[in-house]
Amino acid sequence: MNSGFVSTNEIRDQFSKAMSAMYQQEVPQYGTLLTLVAAVNDDVLRQDSAIANELRARGELARINVERHGAIRVGRPQELNLLRRMFAVMGMQPVGYYDLAAAGVPVHSTAFRPVEDEALTYNPFRVFTSLLRLELIESDDLREQAREILQRRSIVTPQALSLIERFEQQGGLNEEEANAFVQAALNTFRWHHDATVDVATYQRLHEEHRLIADVVCFRGPHINHLTPRTLDIDEVQRRMPEAGIHPKAIIEGPPRRACPILLRQTSFKALEETITFADTVKGQHTARFGEIEQRGIALTRKGRALYDHLLGESQAMPPANDNHAHQAQLADVFSAFPDDYPTLRKEGLAFFHYQAVPGKQASLPDSAGIDVIEALIEQGVLTCQPMIYEDFLPVSAAGIFQSNLGEHQRDEYASQANQAQFEHDLGAQVMDEITLYYQRQQATLEEALAALGVKH
């Protein structure tokens, strides 16, 4: 290791804080939201010592109030490719493939995020990144025009690009370079009040899909929301109106549970912005919004299949009138999903971090066929903690996109998911999130068993 380099963890941490400061300037309601979320998190930690202890044991207490995810949308394969290189400087890799075309949104996406335990504990900053699928625009003229407009822009400044190249050549950045990189990279995600096209072009693209206008008509992929993590999403949702924030009707994802699973999210429209078109006409554009999320335990393939099955079952029911009724209906359907950690573990539905109790040795009877892990847990020499879900959910993401794209929704696109094309454009394969959770779990298990002197 070259000690002259700033760690990618440190660069990511600095960048996420700089991004948060910039977004507070751009979208004042985001600042209000942060205050509200921090207040609710404090209340939860004060009132519920079990949650506080669990977070402490997982080393997550420090990360909870800096934890954010952002979202951006790009228009061209080359832009996606460049962003992959930019996020690599911050120790963020593409994880997961999300096809949103099935939900009427002409994009496919991945999440750039850190993947290792230590990096996640340091700062788990993630960015949901969508690539516009221009091929889904039906009109040849409009599609070509959009492509041509996008070709004229460069979303990364020359300085940022040269620092990315330096990182790739040297294997790291020194302190001065890292500071310069954070500032230069931030420019890619800034809001621009001036559109790059005239009002007529904007309107044609907007009519095709609001999202297409948002991606094509500006100089870069402005950050469209930055989401803090709450420990009690129902309580934040309840207190939002008092703070002047009006969330979408329904909280996406699973219902409230004793053992939260995956991810629950809700969003609100943040801003109508005045923009100036290339022909100096003024107009309005809504791009940026607010969102909160509550994270729970990561699920195995088996657990995820059960989640998808139950979600599908609840979606097939007549839609509830309000969030209260929706949550009650969901809770009813999800009563089929075990809601205590030992059962989630024994049935192989969720992932855990294992730890040997310091100073203990295992004494296992020499009999084959016993469940070694359960025996060690019963003996009190092995403990485990839920592993937090670090990714996104396609159905929820579609709900978030749609609620912020206005009333009339488009039907699904008659297109197939195209992960191979996405990876070609990205210039890399996306990692499989469930494989990552499994590997992290097995690594902690092997280390714990070795410490206990158990051959496995």
Give the residues lining the site for Ni ion (CB under 5 A).
71, 227, 291
The answer to whether residue 397 forms part of the interface with ligand OOG (CB under 6 A) is yes
Nearer Cβ to ligand OOG, position 64 or 400? 400
Q: Of ligand OOG, Ni ion, none, which one sits near residue 73, judging by CB under 5 to 8 A according to partner kind?
A: ligand OOG
Shortest distance in whole angstroms from residue 114 CB to ligand OOG: 17
230 contributes a contact to ligand OOG by CB under 6 A: no
Question: Per residue, what are the HEC states of the chain?
Answer: CCCCCECHHHHHHHHHHHHHHHHHHHCHHHHHHHHHHHHHHHHHHHHCHHHHHHHHHCCCCCCCCCCEEEEEEECCHHHHHHHHHHHHHCCCEEEEEEECHHHCCCEEEEEEECCCHHHHHHCCCEEEEEEECHHHCCCHHHHHHHHHHHHCCCCCCHHHHHHHHHHHHHCCECHHHHHHHHHHHHHHHCCCCECCCCHHHHHHHHHHCHHHHHHHCCCCCCCCEEEEECCCHHHHHHHCHHHCCCECCCCECCCCCCCCECEEEEEEECCCEEEECCCCCEEEECCCEEEEEEECECECHHHHHHHHHHHHHHHCCCCCCCHHHHHHHHHHHHHHCCCCHHHHHHCCCECEEEEECCCCCCCCCCCCCCCHHHHHHHHCCEEEEECECCCCCHHHHHHHHHHCCCCCCCCCCCCCCCHHHHHHHHCCCCECHHHHHHHHHHHHHHHHHHHCCCCC
- Asked whether position 73 contacts ligand OOG by CB under 6 A, the answer is yes
Q: How far is the CB of 139 from ligand OOG (least distance, A)?
A: 24
Q: Please, which of residues 241-300 interact with ligand OOG by CB under 6 A?
A: 265, 291
Min dist CB 318 to ligand OOG, Å, is 25
Among 29, 123, 385, 396, binds ligand OOG (CB under 6 A): 396
| 226 lies in the site for ligand OOG, by CB under 6 A | no
Which one, 64 or 397, has the nearer CB to ligand OOG?
Answer: 397
Taking the complex as a whole, how short is the minimal distance between the CB of residue 295 and ligand OOG, in angstroms? 11
30 near ligand OOG, rule: CB under 6 A: no
Among Ni ion, ligand OOG, none, partner that 397 touches (CB below 5 to 8 angstroms by kind):
ligand OOG
Stretch that binds ligand OOG, among 30-38, 362-370, 396-404, 419-427 (CB under 6 A): 396-404
* Contacts with ligand OOG, residue ranges (CB under 6 A): 71, 73, 128, 130, 224, 265, 291, 392, 396-397, 400-401
